[in-house]
Amino acid sequence: MSDILYDAAFKYETMIGKGYHIVVGRKCKEYPIQLRFTQDAFFHLVGLQHLTDITFSSTNKERVYKEILLGNITAEMIKKSIFYDDFYIEERIVNLFRLEEMIDSCQFLFLINHQEYIKYTKIYADYLCEYLLQENREDCLYFFCVKNTRPKIENECGGCSFFKRHTIDFRRGTSETKLLLNEKINNVGQKEEFVTEIYRHPKYAVI
């Protein structure tokens, strides 16, 4: 029988070898983003930090991810948490497979104002990506990414939260940007990286 937590982790594994070079603009200023995916980020993307009544085999989030892939941590185990439904954990897990198509589309990307965000959420992030599941914004997925404090490359960012919209519009406290460039990078960190241009604004040119 398939385990949704394992399936999500297995799918996410394909993202670790990929990255994105995204450039957005606002008020004549460019914001370059080098988006990368790490094993430890999976823990937060599926909301496992909210299951405070579950004792995992390790406090190391990368190790927890590996234990999920080994089948040592399962969906049935985390469903025992009283917080499982409160934080929509299953919904996060089953929607995570959309992450790649979400970033490929780069429908809407917003700059987050930290001073505004702290008024209504504990999420600390620098960018918000919104992906519409229907034509209206009431049905959408949110992907938050934050600048890495110890970046391996300039402008490196990583995912820090992911979930479907319910009652809160997380665009509040953000500024909408214009997408200038979206490039997908395969074989990240290898000698030969392969870059595919997904989108380039007609007036955008790298000098």
Distance CA 26, CA 175 (A): 8
pLDDT of residue 107: 82
| Confidence at 26, pLDDT banded by 50, 70, 90 | very high
**Any domain includes 206:** no
Kindly tell me the sign of the dihedral angle through the C-alpha atoms of 7, 9, 10, 15: positive
Q: Is the pLDDT of residue 33 over 90?
A: yes
**Any domain includes 207:** no
**Any domain includes 205:** no
pLDDT of residue 95: 97
Distance CA 13, CA 143 (A): 17
pLDDT of residue 138: 77
For all residues of the chain together, what is the average pLDDT? 94
Task: DSSP for the chain, please give it.
Answer: ---HHHHHHHHHHHHHTEEEEEEEEETTEEEEEEEE--TTHHHHHTTGGG-TT---S-S-HHHHHHHHHTTSS-HHHHTTSTTTTTTTHHHHHHHGGGHHHHHHHT-EEEEE-HHHHTTT-----SEEEEEESSSSTTSEEEEEEEE-SS-SSTTEEEEEEEEE-SS--TTTTEEE-EEEEEEEEESTTSSS-EEEEEEE-TT----
**Any domain includes 56:** yes
Range(s) of the domain holding residue 168: 4-200
**Any domain includes 83:** yes
113-129 confidence digits (pLDDT tens): 999 999 999 999 999 99
**Any domain includes 11:** yes
Distance CA 200, CA 207 (A): 14
pLDDT of residue 193: 87
**Any domain includes 30:** yes
Q: Is the pLDDT of residue 134 over 90?
A: no
pLDDT of residue 132: 93
Q: Is the pLDDT of residue 24 over 60?
A: yes
Count of domains forming the chain: 1
Q: Is the pLDDT of residue 188 over 90?
A: no
Q: Which residues contact 160 (CB under 8 A, 6 or more apart)?
A: 41, 44, 45, 123, 124, 125, 144, 145, 146
pLDDT of residue 165: 95
| Confidence at 137, pLDDT banded by 50, 70, 90 | confident
Q: Which residues contact 177 (CB under 8 A, 6 or more apart)?
A: 24, 25, 26, 31, 109, 110, 111
> Which pTM value belongs to this model?
0.94
**Any domain includes 53:** yes
| Confidence at 36, pLDDT banded by 50, 70, 90 | very high
Average confidence (pLDDT) over 146-170: 95
pLDDT of residue 189: 78
- Is 107:113 a contact under the CB 8 Å cutoff? no
Q: Is the pLDDT of residue 131 over 90?
A: yes
